[in-house]
């Protein structure tokens, strides 16, 4: 247990010394924030005792909520037995070995090898190394170009941020010159007068056009999230993924599925790739693999790549000090055990997801809601002033920020991305807690509409 410290002291120390991720640093130094002190089930509590329903599963990672003693026990036991050893120099450890085998069992059959990292960012860095090494071994060293999508999020290291397509991140760092971007399948934002189906095909074919522009002999891979999470829960039209798969199959282009957010049940199946029937060559995982209890990420490597990497010999000159950390892998084993033994994915898909999506869909009639979109256990509500023209309520996403802050202040942790309110509640939520989430969100929308002077018909 942490030694009790009063809120004022904690906030003062935090503002004085702690630089926070994805935060207006000057604003935080001036105004501060909240201190989260404890959590149970799907609720978090701040240092003043205020309770919030966590509608974001931590940061898309606590799919099983905050009360999983089996994970705590597994980590504690491992720390007492072998707190650390590296996986370099032909060494391994039992939790890493067992977790690799467990991940192979729950992923599609073409995946029989795992490379462990500490995060999704590092895993996507690793994907670049694996892809380039693969083509080098095949005698195609010119295949180095990688295609991604605008508004994608693939992590925050230089390489992962380069793969991502978020404007603000690219403005603050010089990215990799061999990463290129095409449009995202965001029908509400980009579809214009097209039907979702026609738009899905058209935006998918931008991949084909970019391959032709760069030259197929130069393009190594395409990377994408099955559903863009941090970009705003962008659920692609049904026509999108079949066309992308066709293009990758017909060209000598590897497909990397970033499953950091979609993986481990968020879309209603173990992985988003399975939900959409797509067949990636590499899969990035992290976040929910340990239920957020310990840092862990990695790459599932298909037999297509692994066979070449294993047969050709020579050192793969890449690794991380904490790759396959025994305590993190113990947390992963316990997490996969809980998911497999309790049927939580199936229950969420059949009981909770329909309840969440149907109640949110009813918000489409709200005067400031332009679109509701979602899949499985995550969703987004897009805010507008005018439903027909899609005019926004306020510049620079001010209305969504207001809505988020109102929700946070009244007991609901949800997130704002652009002009959308996004949410991803834990898969262990109770049905009445789904009702509570939607009721609190509705109150936040009402308050936002009143603040901006928008009335219903």
pLDDT per position as a tens digit, 65-123: 999 999 999 999 999 999 999 999 999 999 999 999 999 999 999 999 999 999 999 99
CB 379 within 8 A of CB 425: no
224 φ/ψ angles, rounded to the nearest 5 degrees: -160, 150
Residue with tokens 């942790």: 413
Q: Residue 184 in 3-state DSSP?
A: coil
Helix or strand run (H / E) with residue 340: helix 326-342
Task: Tell me if the pTM is above 0.85.
Answer: yes
| Residue 260, token pair as written in the block | 């950091």
As a whole number of angstroms, the distance between CA 324 and CA 321 comes to 9
| Residue 158, token pair as written in the block | 């230089």
User: Which residues lie across from 51 on neighbouring strands?
Assistant: 45
Among 173, 121, 181, 184, which residue's Cα sits nearest to residue 146? 181
Per-residue model confidence (pLDDT) at position 457? 63
As a whole number of angstroms, the distance between CA 369 and CA 411 comes to 21
CB atoms within 10 A of CB 29: 15
Alpha-carbon distances of 278 from 47, 238, 239, 346, 357, rounded to whole Å? 44, 12, 12, 20, 23
Per-residue model confidence (pLDDT) at position 1? 59
Residues of the chain with pLDDT below 50 are none
Mean pLDDT of the chain: 96
Per-residue model confidence (pLDDT) at position 110? 96
């Amino acid at each position: 247990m942490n030694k009790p410290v009063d809120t004022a002291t904690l906030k003062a120390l935090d503002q004085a010394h702690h630089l926070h991720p994805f935060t207006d640093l000057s604003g935080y130094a001036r105004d501060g924030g909240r201190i989260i002190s404890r959590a149970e089930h799907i609720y978090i509590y701040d240092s003043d005792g205020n309770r919030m329903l966590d509608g974001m599963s931590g940061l898309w990672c606590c799919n099983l909520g905050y009360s999983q003693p089996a994970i705590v026990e597994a980590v504690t036991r491992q720390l007492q037995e072998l707190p650390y050893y590296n996986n370099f120099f032909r060494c391994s450890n039992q939790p890493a070995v067992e977790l690799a085998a467990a991940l192979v069992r729950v992923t599609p059959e073409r995946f029989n090898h795992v490379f462990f990292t500490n995060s999704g960012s590092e895993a996507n860095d690793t994907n670049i190394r694996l892809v380039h090494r693969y083509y080098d071994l095949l005698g195609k060293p010119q295949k180095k170009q990688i295609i991604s999508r605008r508004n994608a999020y693939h992590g925050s290291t230089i390489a992962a941020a380069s793969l991502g397509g978020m404007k603000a991140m690219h403005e603050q760092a010089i990215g990799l010159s061999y990463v290129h971007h095409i449009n995202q399948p965001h029908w509400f934002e980009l579809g214009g007068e097209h039907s979702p189906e026609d738009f899905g095909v058209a935006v998918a074919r931008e991949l084909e056009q970019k391959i032709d522009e760069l030259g197929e002999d130069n393009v190594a891979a395409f990377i994408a999230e099955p559903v863009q999470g941090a970009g705003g829960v962008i659920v692609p039209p049904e026509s999108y993924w079949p066309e992308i798969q066709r293009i990758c199959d017909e060209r000598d282009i590897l497909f990397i599925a970033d499953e950091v957010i979609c993986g481990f049940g968020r879309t209603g199946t173990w992985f988003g790739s399975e939900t959409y029937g797509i067949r990636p060559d590499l899969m990035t995982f992290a976040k929910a693999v340990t239920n957020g209890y310990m840092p862990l990420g990695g790459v599932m490597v298909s037999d297509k790549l692994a066979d070449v990497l294993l047969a050709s010999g020579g050192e793969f000159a890449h690794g991380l000090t904490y790759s396959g950390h025994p305590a993190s892998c113990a947390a992963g084993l316990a997490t996969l055990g809980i998911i497999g033994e309790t049927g939580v994915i199936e229950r969420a898909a059949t009981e909770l997801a329909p309840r969440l999506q149907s109640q949110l869909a009813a918000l489409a009639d709200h005067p400031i809601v332009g679109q509701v979109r979602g899949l499985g256990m995550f969703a987004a509500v897009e805010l507008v002033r005018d439903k027909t023209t899609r005019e926004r309520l306020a510049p620079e996403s001010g209305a969504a920020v207001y809505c988020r802050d109102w929700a946070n202040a009244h007991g609901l942790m949800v997130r704002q991305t652009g002009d959308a309110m996004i949410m991803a509640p834990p898969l262990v939520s109770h049905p009445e807690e789904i009702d509570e989430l939607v009721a609190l969100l509705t109150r936040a929308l009402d308050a936002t509409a009143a603040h901006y002077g928008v009335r219903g018909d």
